[in-house]
Structure 1
């Protein structure tokens, strides 16, 4: 069976030393380089450079968008945390003020007993501890004889005129007032003297 080849077979021996003579062969003849194949999408392709610039611009735009969203979410979270902390403090203060307000009648009895000298024995220590504990949490008793009358924190139960005073003055505190922080739980009930004329 015979094979039919359309092209003859060519064998090239590129060894530097001739195997028959042992001599160094001369430089082989330079072969013609293969014709350059056109490349698509290479570095010299202007269309590809435009495409890369467009992709880079789109990526930068997307990154800027995501950064803006992240900053907005971060700001919302910080505001939420501040609001929750503030609401927690308000709720805590409201609860403490509610307890203190419920104990005002007990504090009035302790105050009256102390003024009349009826608070004696072990009850003195208990009363002192109760008042110290409520003071530590922010309860403050106020109202002194001789202080100027302030309708925001005083309630006038009696009224008179006197030449001794230049402004409306609390001449007698009938029942002390209590405040919790800035909140007035109960105004001080007082007798007020106005200047004459």
Structure 2
């Protein structure tokens, strides 16, 4: 990503957060980051595309991390561990993006909303597939409905943006470890939980 593109995104995040999407013009953005309209339109077709990119950045991150977890680990409990770590870390890496997303997502144009929703659905499908495979292998409690379990995990973690502070008493990885401990204690079978707690991945969470 070019320095100017990153600078435009950073300025827009601050301005959208302070004034709202409709309260900010392209002129406001280019003045804030000390560039020209030509510089802006070289990287973005419109302010609408810029809002889409803000949304897409963090959604693409968690989706890529989920796919990577599937490639790197052949056990559902370890895939889920890595997916949860990345899902929590996104609130530190892209905190401003997520705040703007939750504040301004109603202004996303339909064509961009479709693209974002496709990635969100893809992530949910991967998570649900991991849960289902974990149940088939006896790692995740079979009596838990996969769809409700999926939504419960996402609902729990997605609320992080409401209270997480970068300068808070706990690091993002410590928060991720707490989430994983709570979720795994409820999801895993006794044998799988014991195996996980004895694993190297569990040791990295301490």
TM-score category (smaller protein): under 0.3
TM-score, normalization: structure 2? 0.23
Report the structure number with the largest CA radius of gyration: 1
TM-score, normalization: structure 1? 0.24
Which of the pair is proportionally richer in strand? 1
Which of the pair is proportionally richer in helix? 2
More relative contact order in 1 or in 2 (CA 8 Å, sep 6+)? 2
